[in-house]
Structure 1
Amino acid sequence: MSMTPYEAIGGEPVLRTLTKRFYALMDTLPEAKACRDIHPKDMTRSEEKLFEYLSGWLGGPPLFTDKYGHPMLRRRHLPAKIGTEEADGWLLCFRQAWNEVVTDKALGDALLPQVEALGRHMINV
């Protein structure tokens, strides 16, 4: 039986490190300013929701769906004006955090294009 991506990256501890690094980058990278500006001042809840979503998306515990139901990500993000600049900043932070935290390059090669497509799908302006 093969491992899920969640297991392959190292499970909860590595996923927590990934999401923490992602939001730290969003707070510090100038290229992510437009994306940061559409987030609340305190991103604790945003970080937890991303952790919960990624847990299930990567094949781990379905924490997000257990709490909130189907993700409907585009619909949930419609109140925020997301353009190319916001999506680019989000994706930059995600790719950088992933490459710093996850050691399995082949897994990144397989999953990051899906994340890229999802990030582009959030554009609503």
Structure 2
Amino acid sequence: MSSTTFYEEIGGAETFRKLVHEFYLRVADDPVLRSLYPEEDLGPAEDRMRMFLEQYWGGPTTYSDQRGHPRLRMRHNPFQVDRAAHDAWLTHMLSALDTIDARTLDDAHRAAMVDYFTRAAAMMVNTPEDV
């Protein structure tokens, strides 16, 4: 019996490439988020996020092969992630998710991704409101 992964069920690399690219198009023009990316070119960050998401959802393990364990909170700790950054990140990610065709991303798969992105965004907040 052959089983498919979430990654395969929603179109694999092509879907994740589109999702992450759409997200970073929005980040590039966002004054809150853009300041969190020290690199002039967002390409390396886009590649890292794409590889991470592909791996998380059952695709290739390229992220861990190249960078080790994801350790998301540790990797984001040097940056001030406040509620405004959380809100902007989640808004842009959900907007990017909306660009994926419903034939590729059905309601159940979309709901799983929305749930994950909502939890992940909340987990990254590391700066209190009053700072």
Q: Fold match, TM over 0.5?
A: yes
Deviation at 1:3, TM superposition (A): 2.7
- Tell me, in whole angstroms, the C-alpha distance in 2 between the residues paired with 1:120 and 1:14: 24
- Tell me, in whole angstroms, the C-alpha distance in 2 between the residues paired with 1:95 and 1:3: 24
- The structure with more helix, counted as a fraction of residues: 1
Deviation at 1:111, TM superposition (A): 2.3
| Two-structure CA RMSD over aligned residues (Å) | 1.3
- Tell me, in whole angstroms, the C-alpha distance in 2 between the residues paired with 1:105 and 1:99: 11
Residue 48 of structure 1 is matched in structure 2 by 47
Runs of 4+ in 1 over 4 A off after TM superposition: none
Quote the sequence identity (%). Answer: 30
Indicate conservation of the 8 Å contact 1:87/1:120, yes or no. Answer: yes
Compare CA radii of gyration and give the structure with the larger one: 2
After TM superposition, the score normalised by the length of structure 1 is: 0.90
Residue 111 of structure 2 is matched in structure 1 by 109
- Closer/same/farther in 2, CA of residues 122 and 53 from structure 1, 3 Å limit: same
Aligned residues: 122
In the alignment, structure 2 segments of 5+ residues that lack a partner are none
1:105 alignment partner AA: D
In the alignment, structure 1 segments of 5+ residues that lack a partner are none
- Cα deviations across residues 64-106 of structure 1 (Å, max 9, x unaligned)? 1111111000000111110010111111111111121152221
2:108 alignment partner AA: A
Indicate conservation of the 8 Å contact 1:9/1:102, yes or no. Answer: no
Indicate conservation of the 8 Å contact 2:28/2:42, yes or no. Answer: no
